[in-house]
A and B are shown apart, each in its own frame.
Chain A
Amino acid sequence: MLITELKSKEIIASLAEGKVFMINCHGCKEVRFPEKEALELQKELQAEGKLTGVITTDYICNPDNMKLRLEKYQEQIAEADVVLVLSCGVGVQTIAEYLEDKKVCAACDTYPVPGFQGVTPLEYKCDQCGECYLNLTGGICPITACSKSLVNGQCGGSKNGMCEVDGDMECGWERIYRRLAQLGRLDVLKCPTQVRNFATDDEVAK
């Protein structure tokens, strides 16, 4: 579940040299899909006589169904010089692998969404650090709620409770302090220094 934005007109124009086959993925449309912009692009390409075909489908990251759905477009794909995919990076990679001999291009940039891990975009974010600090912080995540992802308390740079890196953001550690005070658990702050292990789980397992 990621946000996609169309790349700039110039970049897309440089990608769409020659004939184009266009693939729109509406799988995560409930979160974000630049539908209007995609339609405009389609119309422009059509007007220029560049479009060999277009399919609007969903979940192209699911390779089995993607293949079944693209099958009837094989001729139109063969005719195109480039397959332009409007989806997140996972979708583009999946198509690129399937059409290995074809120039497959991403027409979108992909941005992260907080809460992407779960079912719905959320105000919370989990960075998958692999060593959850939440029980030391009253359930507020120091990795994502602190700009510097500090795990041992505030940096000291906040002004009026706002982060020095991003003035629109509250200092995560001040929030943590307040929550712990509210819970009567300020003693938790006396826990020994935490060290973050940046290895991924795959690497740890080895």
Chain B
Amino acid sequence: MENYTKYKLKSNEELASLLADKDNLFLVACNKCFKEFETVDEPDCDELAKLAAEQGKTVVGSAKVDFLCNKIQTERKLQDMIPEGAEHVLVVSCGLGIQTMADLTDKPVYAASNSLNYRGHHGMALTAKSCDACAQCYLNITGGICPIVDCSKSLVNGQCGGAKDGKCEVDGSKDCAWEKIYRRLEKQGRLEEFLNQPVQVRDYSKTNVKVISDYVKSIRENRLDGYYGGVHPSERKEYTEHLSLVRFPEPEEVVIPLSMHAGAPANPVVQVGDTVKVGQKIGESAGFISSNIHSSVSGTVTAIEEHAHATRGTCLSVVIKSDGKNTLDESVQPKGDLDSLTPDEIVEIVKEAGIVGMGGAGFPTSVKLKPPKPIDTILLNGCECEPLLTADHRVLLEFADDVVYGLKAVMKTVNAERGVIVIEDNKPDAIELMQAKVADCEGMEVVVAKTKYPQGAEKMLIKRVTGRKVPSGGLPADVGCVVSNISTVKAISDAIQKGMPLIERVVTVTGEHIKNPGNYIVKIGTNTKDLIDHCGGLVGDDITVKAGGPMMGFVLNDTNVPIMKGSNGIIAVDTDHSVEQPCIKCGRCADVCPMELSPLYFAKYADEENWQGMKEQNVMDCVECRCCEYICSSKIPLVSKIKAGKNAVRGMK
């Protein structure tokens, strides 16, 4: 790998003269970037400290900081970094880190290092190729060899004539770029085209500093909008966002797992051979964090057995053969008027109906509705920030009244004054509709959020809407919030208004490899493969099928698994063929992590099995949104390393 380390310490003589009239020094060193991540302990800071000590100087403190030029993070770290009594700040970094420090502190800041001087800008891999960003790419006429960086003289109209034996006259260790260009084009049979090119003139005014700096300002604002970090993957929602919900044909058989939620699996309360009806309880909640399970069809229980499960390998499941009649269970009765129900009664209805968070995590909603602290705000997550998925979008459009009803019920249950439906700006139709629906509802409002993943993660949603920060290890209730998913409140509405437990949900079936993508109302327990087949099956080869979205979804190696309460989507996308490469400290992960963590350490420490280090880097705060893995230029499977770390840290207690 090329070494693109950005700085080196200035010479001892220069440093000595720099230090001559200064004392009470505070040293800050950047931990370097764009080099293979081998050590967390770069030597330069200590070298400078040693030199200062030799000069008889007092060093009042020192700090080694990752990505010093990351102004937001550096500002946060600086708060308690520079001790009282520090008079001069010496910075070991490239020019960016030094300028950042100079801006952030009112103490005089000095450069103790020089940026290394090399030609052009490297890419996101440490190869020898670089680009000078000349704004008028010449590669099309030069066969993909850059005359600006590869020719010492940056000539754009052919060789200077000074090359000897194919070597550059300026730098004898370099091949003449124009000879390389000639040979490549000769090989491609493009010499004539090449030699007939008109004379090129380089236009140095093409890079408009103002335009670029305004652009940078705007993307920085965009990136920091609402909360730190986040990413903008291609949305590709156009496959299904305009498609109305369609009821999936009655399945002949359903396989209903007894675990579709966080916590203990439910205990089966039916036996093989029993006749069951739609909405009948077939699994009983097995603890505080658990959930009831109900039949989604009427028919006969044919087996209670281990069955393949999308996220848990296998799981005890109730297999029911449908009689096709959809006979309703007697228990399915409207639960009365919302005004006359008490909060406790609503919690009981929600609990009885087996409602769990339908965004994927599956946390029992009844537990959320009995928060340990006072709540003032309910946030309904209508962001659907996962690319491709449009299930919640369609629910908003087609069940708007139910969503409002459900929100009202939740507000009443936890006695919150404010109910906010948060929708990303890529769903203008849903925004307009919901704004009209909540216009007359006291305390309710629609907040439009600029599209950014992972907006729907509860901590990000809270930060964005209320500006409050959920403390490390804390819950939304700690800052007076309850966050719920759109489909979940729709289920609450059904449970109260119709008495119908959670037995079906909206699923988006999509991706470039699904023949006929669509949004379906699907009964829990329906076979995923049947659903895919109903959509015309898979087209093409080399396909990855996932339950959920492309960011947080689970890869399904076997599609013979049931649709569950948290199954918001089934997607079939291209398989990515890439392999894990060494971390090069590009810093992208730290740049996008919405929890403001440094995922690069998780990769390093997981490989070293340094679980203590993981803990110190706050691995437990990770929300597994996969932004780091998405952005990683070395394609490191960060989330699986993080999960290993979390398990180990849990074991340490």
Contacts and interface: CB of A to CB of B under 8 A. Distances in A.
Contacts of A28: 124
Contacts of B116: 128, 130, 201
A126 B67 CA distance: 14
A61 interface: yes
Interface stretch (A29-37, A44-52, A151-159): A29-37
Contact of B96 (A91, A126, A185): A126
A190 B69 CA distance: 29
Interface string B121-144: 111110101111111110110011
With most chain B CB atoms within 10 A of its CB, the pick from A26, A120, A125, A199 is A120
Interface in B202-219: 206-207, 209-210, 212-213, 215-217, 219
A170 B554 CA distance: 52
Contact of A101 (B187, B542, B635): B187
Given A72-B542, A122-B96, A89 B146 contact: yes
Given A30-B232, A92-B144, A94-B123, A112 B591 contact: no
Contact of B207 (A63, A71, A112, A135): A112
Contacts of B577: 65, 68-69, 71-72
Interface residues of B, number: 90
A146 B96 CA distance: 16
A88 B123 contact: yes
A117 B94 CA distance: 9
A52 to B, nearest CB: 15
A106 B142 CA distance: 11
Contact of B33 (A103, A118, A139): A118
A200 interface: yes
Interface size on A, as a range, is 35 or more
Nearest to A199: B117
B122 to A, nearest CB: 7
Contacts of A80: none
Contacts of B212: 3, 111-114
Given A65-B579, A139-B102, A139-B103, A90 B95 contact: no
A185 to B, nearest CB: 6
Contacts of A127: 95, 115
Nearest to A204: B117
A128 B34 CA distance: 15
A119 B209 contact: no
A117 B6 contact: yes
B234 interface: yes
Interface stretch (B389-397, B485-493, B581-589): B581-589
A81 B454 CA distance: 40
A104 interface: yes
A129 B119 CA distance: 10
A138 B108 contact: yes
A80 to B, nearest CB: 13
Given A61-B123, A106-B137, A169 B117 contact: no
A97 interface: yes
Contact of B115 (A96, A130, A199): A130
B463 interface: no
A141 interface: yes
Nearest to A39: B234
B101 interface: yes
B10 interface: yes
B114 interface: yes
Contacts of A132: 10, 95, 98, 111, 113-115
Given A65-B579, A118-B94, A132-B113, A105 B102 contact: no
Given A90-B121, A132-B114, A27 B633 contact: yes
A27 B111 contact: no
Contacts of B133: 2-3, 88-89, 110-113, 116
Contacts of B143: 96, 103-104
B247 to A, nearest CB: 33
A105 B98 contact: no
Interface in A51-80: 56-59, 61-65, 68-69, 71-72
B210 A166 contact: yes
Given A112-B212, A134-B111, A101 B578 contact: no
29 contacts: A2-B133, A30-B232, A32-B215, A58-B633, A61-B123, A62-B634, A65-B578, A65-B581, A68-B578, A103-B188, A110-B134, A112-B133, A113-B212, A117-B33, A117-B96, A117-B115, A120-B223, A121-B220, A124-B96, A126-B96, A126-B115, A127-B115, A134-B109, A139-B99, A139-B102, A140-B102, A182-B106, A183-B106, A203-B171
Interface of A: 1-3, 7, 15, 26-32, 35, 56-59, 61-65, 68-69, 71-72, 88-97, 100-106, 108-135, 138-141, 144, 166, 168-169, 179, 182-183, 185, 199-204
3 smallest beta-carbon distances between A and B, as pairs: A96-B144, A139-B102, A130-B117
